[in-house]
């Protein structure tokens, strides 16, 4: 497919996991792609990497300006950089609450704010936010993380309404558990990594984790000019975890 031929894209958190798979897929489908990341060192051609911390407005504005200059414009923003947090409301300090909201929610706000003037000049402008099943299902030990992703879901709807008349579509993907370096780190930290992995796999009706490429495919679908009538939606990419209630195997 070459639906992104002639288009340009910026992917935050594009040096690893879902962001990297997305940057690679958009490039394969014809886009010129730049990555914005805290550590862009793993990024290689045809992608270009730009160092920025999404919690720092000055660094975001500088990286977006440099990326747009290099790309020659901007059609697609993938707001994907994010971090995790574990625990109940009793676990995390106020500092941690501020920190995770700063990355996961305000990070998207800062990046979108810097990109909007450029997106307005595009005939195929699209923003895709990486949200999570944690926005729509109650998962144990994820109070802070879930609150940030609930905010990302609402932000997606509000932004879609604000910018629809400007021709800028805004959607999000809601992945289940995806086999990325992030989840690898979580499993490594578990008492019994194999049992933890089996529990995460069993939680998804497909019986396996989602692949980064599958989330990238959903992001590309929402970002593509072929989806010009789709805005303000959340696309589940979760192996059926949100919507299905299968009976236990053999029953």
Ligand X SMILES: NC(=O)c1ccc[n+]([C@@H]2O[C@H](COP(=O)([O-])OP(=O)(O)OC[C@H]3O[C@@H](n4cnc5c(N)ncnc54)[C@H](O)[C@@H]3O)[C@@H](O)[C@H]2O)c1
- Residues binding ligand X (CB under 6 A): 13, 15-19, 37-39, 52-55, 80-83, 103, 107, 130, 132, 175, 177-178, 180-183
- Rounded to a whole number of angstroms, the distance between the first and last alpha carbons of the chain is 42
C-beta of 232: minimal distance to ligand X in Å? 19
Between β-strands 126-130 and 48-51, what pairing exists: parallel, antiparallel or unpaired?
unpaired
Q: Which residues contact 121 (CB under 8 A, 6 or more apart)?
A: 73, 74
Q: Which residues pair with 239 in a beta bridge?
A: none
Among 145, 174, 183, 216, the one annotated catalytic? 145
- Residue nearer to ligand X on the CB measure, 25 or 54: 54
- Residue nearer to ligand X on the CB measure, 54 or 160: 54
C-beta of 198: minimal distance to ligand X in Å? 16
C-beta of 251: minimal distance to ligand X in Å? 28
Q: CA–CA separation, 228 vs 182, rounded Å? A: 32
C-beta of 118: minimal distance to ligand X in Å? 19
Q: Which residues contact 20 (CB under 8 A, 6 or more apart)?
A: 14, 35, 42, 43, 212
- Residue nearer to ligand X on the CB measure, 124 or 135: 135
Active site annotation includes 145: yes
- Residue nearer to ligand X on the CB measure, 55 or 206: 55
Q: CA–CA separation, 135 vs 146, rounded Å? A: 6
Catalytic residue annotation? 145
């Amino acid at each position: 497919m070459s639906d992104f031929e002639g288009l340009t894209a910026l992917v935050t958190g594009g040096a690893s996991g879902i962001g990297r798979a997305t940057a690679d897929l958009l490039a394969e489908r014809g886009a010129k792609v730049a990555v914005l990341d805290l550590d862009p060192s793993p990024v290689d051609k045809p992608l270009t990497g730009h160092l920025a911390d999404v919690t720092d407005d000055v660094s975001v504005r500088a990286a977006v300006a440099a990326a747009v200059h290099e790309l020659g414009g901007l059609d697609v923003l993938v707001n994907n950089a994010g971090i995790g947090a574990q625990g109940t409301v009793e676990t995390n300090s106020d500092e941690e609450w501020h920190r995770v909201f700063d990355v996961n929610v305000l990070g998207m706000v800062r990046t979108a704010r810097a990109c909007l003037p450029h997106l307005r000049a595009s005939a195929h402008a699209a923003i895709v936010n990486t949200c999570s099943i944690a926005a729509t299902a109650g998962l144990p030990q994820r109070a802070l993380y879930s609150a940030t992703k609930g905010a990302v879901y609402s932000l997606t709807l509000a932004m879609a309404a604000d910018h629809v008349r400007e021709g800028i579509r805004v959607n999000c993907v809601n992945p289940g558990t995806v086999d990325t370096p992030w989840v690898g780190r979580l499993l490594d930290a578990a008492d019994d990594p194999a049992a933890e992995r089996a529990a995460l796999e069993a939680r998804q009706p497909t019986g396996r984790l989602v692949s980064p490429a599958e989330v990238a495919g959903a992001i590309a679908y929402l970002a593509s000019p072929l989806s010009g009538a789709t805005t303000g939606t959340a696309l589940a990419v979760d192996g059926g975890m949100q919507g299905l209630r299968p009976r236990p195997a053999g029953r």
